[in-house]
């Protein structure tokens, strides 16, 4: 049996190979031509003169520059004013802090003096005869009397309250007992 298709395949393969060689050769030629063209010196472009700036554009740019200069000056003035205000506020805060410290000192002194006066008056009431102190406390407002009786030694306070009218002694006892009722427990 004879193979008849073999010759046709060889011819077809030769056509394909020659077509490929032609294409590669054509591309290689183009590449060589491009390489020669790239290596040739290209003169630099000659500078061209720009047309003169239109007067309207020049005036607009000058106006904008002047406007920016005015805005910059206004910003600088505002910053200077803010710096002055900041310095004045800082100085005023320091003055207020000093005044607050001074006021705290005065209040502490006044509170200390008031406490000394109350302690001295409490000692006076404790030194009085219970009957005389009871008459005096009976004439006082219950809130005022409760303050002194709460500061007195328990024995002295008991002797004074024993000499008072029962309703007055009861009212003062309620005030003393309820004085710390609203104080936090924890």
All structural domains of the chain with their residue ranges: 54-113, 128-178
> 137: exposed, middle or buried (C-beta count within 10 Å: 0-12, 13-18, 19+)?
buried
pLDDT band with cut points at 50, 70 and 90 for residue 67 = very high
pTM of the entire predicted model = 0.42
d(CA 96, CA 16): 102
The pLDDT of residue 42: 60
The pLDDT of residue 2: 57
The pLDDT of residue 57: 87
pLDDT band with cut points at 50, 70 and 90 for residue 49 = confident
What are the two backbone dihedrals, phi and then psi, of residue 140, each rounded to the nearest 5 degrees?
A: -75, 160
d(CA 83, CA 15): 91
Alpha helices in 40-153 (DSSP H): 55-127, 130-139, 142-151
Q: pLDDT of 109-166, one tens digit each?
A: 888 888 898 899 999 999 999 999 999 999 999 998 999 899 999 999 999 999 999 9
The answer to whether residue 40 scores a pLDDT higher than 60 is: no
The answer to whether residue 84 scores a pLDDT higher than 80 is: yes
Which among 116, 128, 119 is positioned nearest to 156, based on CA atoms?
128
The pLDDT of residue 24: 80
The pLDDT of residue 38: 59
Which among 170, 129, 133, 166 is positioned nearest to 148, based on CA atoms?
133
């Amino acid at each position: 049996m004879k193979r008849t298709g073999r010759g046709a395949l060889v011819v077809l393969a030769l056509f394909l190979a020659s077509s490929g060689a032609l294409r590669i050769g054509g591309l290689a030629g183009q590449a060589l031509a491009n390489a020669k063209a790239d290596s040739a010196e290209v003169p630099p472009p000659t500078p061209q003169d720009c047309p003169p700036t239109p007067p309207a554009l020049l005036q607009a740019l000058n106006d904008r520059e002047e406007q920016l200069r005015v805005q910059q000056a206004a910003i600088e003035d505002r910053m200077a004013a803010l710096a002055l205000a900041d310095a004045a506020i800082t100085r005023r805060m320091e003055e207020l802090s000093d005044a607050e410290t001074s006021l705290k000192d005065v209040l502490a002194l006044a509170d200390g003096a008031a406490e000394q006066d109350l302690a001295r008056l409490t000692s006076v009431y404790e030194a009085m005869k219970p009957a005389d102190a009871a008459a005096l406390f009976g004439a006082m407002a219950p809130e005022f009397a409760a303050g002194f009786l709460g500061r007195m030694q328990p024995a002295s306070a008991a002797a004074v309250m024993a000499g008072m009218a029962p309703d007055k002694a009861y009212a003062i006892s309620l005030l003393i007992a309820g004085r710390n009722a609203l104080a936090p427990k924890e």
